[in-house]
Every structure is written in C-alpha cells, then in structure tokens.
Chain A
Amino acid sequence: MDSSQKCKIYNTVIIKKDLFKEDKIGLFAPDGVEFIYNVLENLGYYKDFSKNFTTEEARSHGLQSIEILCDLELIEIFSWGIHIPKISKRDFSKRELIEYLREVWFVGASTQDFYSMPMIKYKDWYLKALEEKGLTHTTHWKTFVKEEIGDLEQWIEEVRP
C-alpha cells in the first residue's frame, strides 16, 4: 500500500512533488528534519495557526513526508529518543521506521513531546554535496536552492553516490 492510498481519508495527501515546492523546500535544508516538529514546520504547520499540528492529519502528513525522504534515501536516524527500538539507525526498512514512528508519535503530541522522540538527520553524502556547492551555516536556503541548484529533485539524483 503506498502512502497516497493510505491517507485518502484526509483532505490532502503529500506526494513527492509537493515537497519540492517552494513553500515546503525548507524540509530539505540541513536542519529541516532534525526533530519531528521541524518536519511539521516545513510542511506549513506552526506558521499557519489554522493547521493544528497535534491532529492525526498532521501526523499523517508528517509520516508521509518522512516516507518520501526514506524513498529518496536521504535520511537516517540521529538518536531514537526515550524508546530505543531494535532497528538500525542507518540500515532500516521504511516500513520498520514508519511503524515505529507511528508508535511513538501519538496524536496530540506537543512540541515538548517531540524532543523525546527520534531525531532525524540527512545522510552525510547529501550534506557534503550541499557544502561543496557552497552552502554555509548562514546561507539563506531558499535563495541557495534557487540560485545555485535550481531543480533540487534532479540535483539530488545527480549527486547521489
């Protein structure tokens, strides 16, 4: 079952193309997925008060996005948080990870709760490729993507080892 089928009950479904749109491109910044709340922030939650980030829909959107990042083989787990599963931080199956996240990410979780949940990081090859392209800590991400990379989705495929 793919993510689009799984989430049909909600008004919107996150697909890969959505994540590369300008309003969500912050997700691909080096800090864009650090905590679960960072993922939600980059999906437009928090900024938009009408989008409640504690709902099941928000969780579904977050998990769909993480799935897509898994498909792109861009992310790994930096730390598991309070509950440590028997899953490798790097060599996990997407199914394993999403099931685990669904387990620890309960509906109604607050920002404070997210601090005790898994921390995600981008893989080193991606971070290194960005650095080689000229990204620094103080480079404005959206401008960098627009001016230095262009089509981020395509560029990721080009630099993927």
Chain B
Amino acid sequence: MRNNLKGIFSVLIAFITMLIFFSGCEREQLEEASSEINFPKLEGRTTTVKELLRQPALRDKILSLSSNSQNKSTNSSAIQIDTSFVKIIETNQYDSYTFQVVQDSIEKQFVLRNYILTVVNDSTYVQHLVDYTVLSGHAYDMDHISLTQVFGDDLLPSFIKCSSTITIPYTSCYMVHCNRPGQHTDPEDLDCSAEIRAYEMCVTRWLFLEAGDSACSGGDSDGVIDDSGTRNSSGGSLSDDLVIPVEPNDGREVRPLVTVSDTTQAFFNTLNNPTEIALYNFIQNFHQNELRREINDYLRSGLNSQEAQDFVKWLIDFAIIKEDPTPCGWNSNHDCLVSINRMAQGLRRFHGAQGAEVAAYFESVLSDINTSPSEYTVNDIQEIYNVALNITKQYNSRMIHSIVVGFVDGVTPIIEIALFEVGGIIAVRLLQRIPLSWVLRGDRLNNLVRKVGLMGEVGAQNSIRIVKTNAPIANSRGIFNTLTKNKIGNFVTGSNGSISANMGNGNFIIYRPVTASTSNFPATISLDFRAGGIWTQVRNVKFITP
C-alpha cells in the first residue's frame, strides 16, 4: 500500500510541477488532468456518534473533543466538536470521520468549520481542521478551502509544528446505500423515507497531499506525526503521502433532488440561460427540495400561467435573498437596501392591493434611510431588513399555500414583527410609517394598540412601559399621530399640553409632552382602551432618552 501511495504521490508531484510551470493553466485543464489519477475507491455514509463510541480507539478522542470541558476561553486552540452528525469516508487504506466544529452563530454565517479525524491502518491518527467559506444557498466555496493539519489533544495548527500541504480539487461519486427498505445504513436517521433509497452521491472533493513533514524533520520522511504529536515510525505508520478527500459537514445530509413533474422541470430548465442562471442553479440544489415541492404543487394546481411562472421566479429570487448569510453593511457586499427594494417590487407585483401597500411602506422606510443615512446604524439597517424579509416571507407563504391571489389579513404579523422581533428605536420608526388602513378603528387598531402597550420595558408598575429612544418627543408624537390617524373628530388639547384623541367605543389615546412623576420623562402616550377590553387600567408608555 505504501508503494502505491508513493506512486500516487510521484504522479501528483509531477503534475503539480507541471502546474507551476504552466502557471497560466485554466482550472478546467487542472480538473481534467487530476481525473486521470488513480484515487483510492471511496465509500461514504453518515452515522451517529453512538456507533463511533463503540470503537475504543476513537472513543477517547471523540469524548475529549466533544466534552464541554473543552473551553475556548481556557485554551485558545481548543475546539469542541458537534457529534450529532458524522460523515464517514471509507477506503481500503483509511477511514476519515468528519465532524462539525461548534461555532458561534456569527462565525457560522461566514465560514463552516469541520474537524476531520483520519485513521490509517486502524492505528495512526491524522487530524485536520477545514474551513469552508459560506456562499449563498447553503453552498460552500470549494475553490478556496482552508485546510490545516493539527496535532495532539491541544490541536496546535500545523504552521507551529511545520508541515507542508498541497491541495487540488477533483470530483468523485459513491453510492449511499440503504440496508433495508426505507432506511439508510444509519437506522436512527428518521429522515430516511421510502422514496429515498440508495442513491449515487457526487461531491466536489479536495485532494489533500501531505508531502511528509520534511519541513520539520530536515528531510527525514520516514515517520509521521501521530495523534500525540510525537514521531511514530513503528508498525502501523503512515506513508509519506496521504490522500484525504474532504466533504463539508454542515449537519445536513446530501440528498437527491426531489423529482418534480415534467412541466415543472421544463419550467426550471427554461431558467438555464445566461440571465437567469442564478435562479436555475439555486433551484437545482437539493437544499431547495422543500421549495421545489412547493413550486411543483403550485404549478400543478392549474396555475401554470405566465403570471404563475413569474411568481415562481420571484419566489426563487426571494429565496436567494433570504438565504444570503451576508450581514448588511454600508461597505459589505450585501446591500440590504437593494434587497428591500427587490422585496417591495415583488410584493407590489404579486400580492394585490395589500402587497402594494406594504411595498409603499417599505419604500417609504427606504426613502427615510436614503434621506438621512447618518441617522441609521448598520444594526438599524439589519433590523429593518430582517423585518422586511419576514413580512415578505409571510406574504409569499400565504400565496403559495392558498394558491389564490389576495389575503385575509396581512396586518397582524406585520405589526407583531415590527414591535416584538425588532423592538426599540427601529420599531418606533417603522410604526410611524405604517399606513392608515392598518390603524382603522376596531380590531385592527386594538391589535396595534395592544402591541404598542407592550413596547419597551415594564416600568415601576405593570401599567407603565418605558421606551428609550434618542428623540423621545418626536418619536412618541410620531407614534401618536400614526395611531390616531382614524380618530373621531378633532384632537382635544388640554391646558397641560396633553392632546386627546377619541378612537371610538369609549377608547382614547392621549399624548402629553409633560410628566408630573419625575422631570425626565419628556413624553407619554396613554392608551385608555379599557372599553376595548385590552387593559383594565390606562396604559402609559413613557418615552425617555437612553
């Protein structure tokens, strides 16, 4: 086996030398050449950690890395692995186990990190950390993988220990089998349904060549660095070269595409053109199987008109926006204002009068941002973007499920999102922009008032809410004006500066720019909706600077 690997290595070194010599070589040439190499035959499967723990040789390593005692704060190079989903690549020379590394949510937006434990001849352990840059649509940048060999339990990276690595890409396929009908090899995989049995899985892999560790050993290439970080030249030793295919483990299994009707697939195929190729690539990805099912149901429902097809294109376009993990930022690649504008266009085009109203609302908010950009932080923009995303998602979801144009009521979720999921200053700004039809008297207004009465934090007593905002008077007055758009009669101004609005059925909203409690509540909105059955007491929402 060792000779075989040396042979492979020789071929590859020659190939890489050629690559360096012909530095202008195109990528296609590289892949074509690499496909000629006789790689070890691969078999792949997924498993649970329970199975691995039955192997004494793996048990200690897995337990130590999955333990909570592995704390980043105590050891900067330590990692913690997620053992819920393990990918195994098996060859006649080695087995490799790929785990997800536990990452915080922010880091995961940008990079997927895996830990690969490769066991050679059942005795030698080689460890790698692999970073995949996250692209949109659950895709990873397979052309720029960062692969680092690590050593020992402290997982020191290779550049400290000295090791040279070379990587070149290639694609290979293997069969994922089911050991009985409706089940994969892992009987605990509940997602394995009868319709998905054995299938061929083709993935882009990276060939990892380790040219011994000559950089550390001064040319001594007989031994290898084993798991404990010491040189191992005894039985079971690794050859000078190692070929490790890597495959991203993001906790999801690669599955075949859900089959759609000929008509639907024909429609998808029409997207395979230079202007819509992004839509095509997105929908032809197994990660979008749920969306494929939904679109298939939608188009099969008799609505396969040009309008329906345009709506489906919008759905795919929106899904691309939705799954873009790049956070908003003035200088980032993700211009969220453009994305919000795209959502507005889709809402106006496909969601009837209410969609047009929401679109106008989005555009009004965008106009504010463009007029006074300095008043909005990147976080504000991100929150507004998230609100727009959630609202649009709900509209699309209703559309697809109802398979009719028009909605019963789109107001409630919009308000709930604006006030609960966002909160604070942005909720105030979004509230001030909502159109009249959302604050009509009756249930709609009561619903909105109920949410406004829960803004901010509870005050000294349950009937008091404290909202902190940089412009308490302007913002509270803005909300008051919004809530009272449909008042009965005129405002009634009191001698203490209070302004009262009769909202009908015994309900009142009062704004006052003074407080008698302490001197630093610049403004209060009192919601007297006892008649509406919302609260037994008058709700006071007090505005104050942070």
Partner-B contacts on A (CB < 8 A): 26, 29-35, 37, 41, 46-47, 49, 78-82, 84, 111-112, 115-116, 119-122, 127, 135, 137-141, 144
Identity of the chain A residue whose Cβ is nearest the Cβ of B502 in the assembled complex: A112
Q: In the complex, which residue of chain B has the Cβ closest to the Cβ of A35?
A: B516
Given contact pairs A37-B538, A41-B463, A78-B516, A138 touches B496 in the complex (Cβ within 8 A): no
CA distance A85 to B37 in the complex (A): 101
| A/B pair count, beta carbons within 8 Å | 87
Q: Are B528 and A31 in contact (CB under 8 A)?
A: no
Q: Which residues of A contact B500 (CB under 8 A)?
A: 112, 115
Flag if B460 contacts A141 (CB, 8 Å). Answer: yes
Interface size on B, residues (CB 8 A): 30
Residues of B within 8 A of A81 (CB): 494-496
Complex contact B461–A29 (CB within 8 A): yes
Contact of A82 with B463 in the complex, beta carbons under 8 Å: no
Task: Given A31-B459, A46-B536, A127-B518, output 11 extra A-B contacts at Cβ < 8 Å.
Answer: A31-B460, A32-B461, A33-B516, A78-B496, A79-B495, A81-B494, A115-B500, A121-B517, A137-B460, A137-B466, A138-B457
A84 to B514, CA, bound (A): 18
Cα distance, A121 to B514, chains bound together (Å): 12
Instruction: List A contacts of B510 (CB < 8 A).
Output: 115
Q: List 7 A-B contacts (CB under 8 A).
A: A30-B518, A31-B464, A31-B515, A46-B530, A81-B494, A115-B500, A119-B496
CB neighbours (8 Å) of A144 from chain B are 460
A26 CA / B321 CA spacing, docked (Å): 50
Q: How many Å from the CB of B539 to the closest CB on chain A?
A: 11
Alpha-carbon distance A137/B540, docked complex (angstroms): 13
Known contacts A34-B516, A80-B495: A137-B544 contact under CB 8 Å: yes
Shortest 10 CB-CB contacts between residues of A and residues of B: A78-B516, A121-B516, A31-B517, A141-B460, A119-B516, A79-B496, A30-B517, A34-B516, A29-B460, A137-B466
* Distance from A78 Cβ to chain B, minimum over Cβ atoms (Å): 4
| Nearest CB of A to B358, in Å | 34
A26–B459 Cα gap in the complex (Å)?
12
Residues of A within 8 A of B544 (CB): 137
A111 contacts which of B514, B517, B521, B538 (Cβ < 8 Å)? B538
- Determine the chain B residues whose CB is within 8 A of the CB of A78 once the complex forms: 496, 514, 516
Closest residue on chain A to residue B497 by CB atoms: A79
Min CB distance A131 to B, Å, is: 8
Is the CB of B508 closer than 8 A to any CB of chain A? yes
B390 cross-chain contacts in A, Cβ below 8 A: none
Mark contacts of B505-546 with chain A using CB atoms, 8 A cut-off: 1 yes-contact digit, 0 otherwise.
000101010111110010000001010000011101010100
Residues in A with CB closer than 8 Å to B514 are 78-79, 119
B482 at the interface (CB under 8 A from A): no
Measured between alpha carbons, how far is A122 from B540 in the docked complex, in Å?
18
Roughly how many angstroms separate A140 CA and B466 CA in the complex, as a whole number? 12
**Do residues A111 and B495 form an inter-chain contact, with CB atoms below 8 A?**
no
- Given A30-B460, A111-B508, A121-B516, A137-B494 contact (CB < 8 Å): no
